[in-house]
Structure 1
Amino acid sequence: MSYRTALSEVLTSVIAPSVEVTGTQGKFPRGAVTALGRAGLLGLTVSTEFGGGGRGLPEAVEVVARTARVCPATAAVLQSHYAAVAAIESYGSAWVRGEIAAGRHLASLALAEDGTGEQGVEAQLLVSRSVAARSGDVVALRARKHRVVAAGEADSYVWSSQPLTAPDGLTLWAVPAHAPDLFVPARPGDAGPYGSATSTVFADPVLVPADAMLGGDGGGLDIVLRTVLPWLLELRAAAGAEAFRSLAADGGSVRRPADSLAPS
C-alpha cells in the first residue's frame, strides 16, 4: 500500500471522525497518532534500512498538508515530529530510528526558550540558555522550553542546550519523555492549534546519558540551520496554506483549531 493510500484511510477512518473532539475539547489526537504509526506514516522519512518509508521532505510536506485540511492539531504534531526525525535520522541511535519506523515512537522539538527576545520563533531556535553539565557518563540539562508540540505526549524531544565545552554554538540532545524530573503543566499553553498539546516543558534538571548527544558538542547550530529549520519552515508553510484554504472555504469564519500554527 502506498503512503498516499494509507494516509487517505487514516484521514477517513480515524482523524476526520475525531476532529470535533480534538478541536472543541482540546483533546490530544492520540488515536490519530497511533493510526499514523501503524500505517507507516510516522516512519515515512526513516531510512528503509531501519524499516522506514525512506521518503523525504516533499512527501512529508504532502502528508502534513493533507492532514491540515482535516485536523490542524494532528498536522502540527506531524510538523514537529518530521522536523525532529530529520535530525534523529542523521544523528540518532539505531534503536530510536527503528522504533520510529515501526510507528511506536513520536518525536517532537524542544528548542525555543524564554529570554531569546522578540526575533520570532525561527530566531529563537538558534539561541539557547539551557545549561548542560556533565558528570561522568551523565549530563544534567536545565531549561524551560516553550512552544513544545505534543508536550507530555511525545516519546522523546530533540532538545537544545549551550555546549558542554565548545566555545559557541548549540548542542542537541535526544531527551526521553520518561526521563525523571521533566515537568509539563497539566493545562497546555495557548500556543499552537487547540488539541496539539503545545505547552512548556521544564527541566530542573533532567538527567540524560552523555551518548544522547545528537552530533558533536557545539554542532547543533549547524544541524538546526541546515536540517531542522528548513524542514520546519516547509512543513509549517504547507499546514498554514491549508488552514487559510479551509478558512476561505468556510467563508472566512475563524475556528479555534486553526488559530495558530506555532511549531514548537
Structure 2
Amino acid sequence: MSFRSALSHVLSSTIEPSAEETGARGRFPRASVTALGEAGLLGLTVATDLGGGGLGLTEAAEVVTDVSRACPATGAVVRSHYAAVAFIEAYGSHWMRRKVAVGLHLGTLALTDADDAGTPGAAPSPTGSTATRTGDVVALRGRKRDVVGAGEADSYIWSSPPAHGGKGPSLWLVPADAPGLFVPARPSGDGPRGSGTSTVYADPVLLPAGALLERDGEADGLLSTVRAWLADVHRGGRIAHRGARGPRTRLTARPGPR
C-alpha cells in the first residue's frame, strides 16, 4: 500500500471523525496518532532497512498538509514529529530509529526559549537555556515555549548553547521521562486546540552526555534546514533541499557510526 493510500484510510477512519471533538474539547488526538503509527506514517522518513518508509520531507509535507486540513491539532503534532525525526534519523541510535520506524515513538521539538521574542524555532536565547557538563552527565536548564505535544510525546529535541565552547547551538534528545523535565497540567501555547502545545521546563534535566545529537555547538546545518521546512509547511508550500545527495528532499543522511 502506498503512503497516500494509507493516509487516505487513516483520514477517513480515524482523523476526520474525531477532529471536531479534538478541537471542541482540546483533547490530544491520541487515537489519530496511534492510527498514523500503525499505518507506517510516523515512520515515513525512516530508512527502509529499519522498517520505515524511506521517503523524505517532501512527502512528509504532503502528509502534514492533508492531515492539517482534516484536523489542525493532529497536523501540528505530525509536523513537529517529522521535524524531530529528521534529527533522530540523522544522529540517533539504531534502536531509537527502529522505534520511530514501527510507529512506537512520537517526537517533538523544544527549540524556542520562553524569553525569546522571536518566532517558534528561533535560535536559543543566550540568556535562556543552558547546558552544563560534569563528567559524563549534562544538566539542561531552561524553559521552552510552544512545544507541540508537550506531555504526550516520547522525546523532545532540546536546543541549548554548547556545553563546551563552540558558536552554534547544541541539540539533545531528551526522553519524556527524564528526571527534572516538567510539563504543566494545563497546556499554555499558541498551537491548535488539542495539540497539547505548552511550555516545557528543565529544572534541571540530567542526561548522559551521549544524548547530544551531532557535535557540541555544531547543529546549525540540519537545524537551519529543518526550520526552513517547518516555515514552508506552515505556509502550505513545499521545500526542495539540495544537499549532498542531490535534488531529492532528504534531510536524513547519516554522518556515519556514532
TM-score (norm 2): 0.88
Distance 1:46 1:68 in 2: 21
| 3-state SS of 2:171 partner | strand
Extract unaligned runs of 5+ from structure 2. Answer: 238-258
Extract unaligned runs of 5+ from structure 1. Answer: 240-264
Q: Is the 8 A contact 2:111 2:120 kept in 1?
A: no
Alignment map for 1:78-117 (pairs within 5 Å): 78-117=78-117
User: Which whole-Å deviations, capped at 9, do the CAs of 1:114-155 have from their partners, x for residues lacking one?
Assistant: 2323x3334x23545211111222111001010000000000
* Counterpart check, 1:182 vs 2:197: no
Q: Is the 8 A contact 1:73 1:196 kept in 2?
A: yes
- Sequence identity percentage: 57
* Counterpart check, 1:53 vs 2:60: no
Q: Is the 8 A contact 1:60 1:235 kept in 2?
A: no
Alignment map for 1:61-72 (pairs within 5 Å): 61-72=61-72
Match of 2:233 among 232, 235, 252: 235
- 1:258 maps to none
The structure with more helix, counted as a fraction of residues = 1
Corresponding letter in the other structure for 2:229? W
The number of equivalent residue pairs is 236
TM-score (norm 1): 0.86
Distance 2:210 2:190 in 1: 32
Runs ≥4 in structure 1, deviation > 2 angstroms?
A: 114-117, 119-122, 124-129
Corresponding letter in the other structure for 2:188? G
Alignment map for 1:1-264 (pairs within 5 Å): 1-117=1-117, 119-122=118-121, 124-125=122-123, 127=125, 129-226=128-225, 228-238=226-236
User: Which whole-Å deviations, capped at 9, do the CAs of 1:129-185 have from their partners, x for residues lacking one?
Assistant: 211111222111001010000000000000001101123211000000111221111
Q: Is the 8 A contact 1:64 1:238 kept in 2?
A: no
RMSD: 1.4
Greater mean alpha carbon deviation, residues 133-142 or residues 208-217? 133-142
- 2:252 maps to none
Q: Which has the higher contact order (CA 8 A, sep 6+)?
A: 1
Corresponding letter in the other structure for 1:181? G
| 3-state SS of 2:131 partner | strand
| Post-superposition offset of 1:223 | 2.6
Distance 1:114 1:29 in 2: 25
Corresponding letter in the other structure for 2:2? S
| Post-superposition offset of 1:221 | 2.4
| Post-superposition offset of 1:237 | 2.0
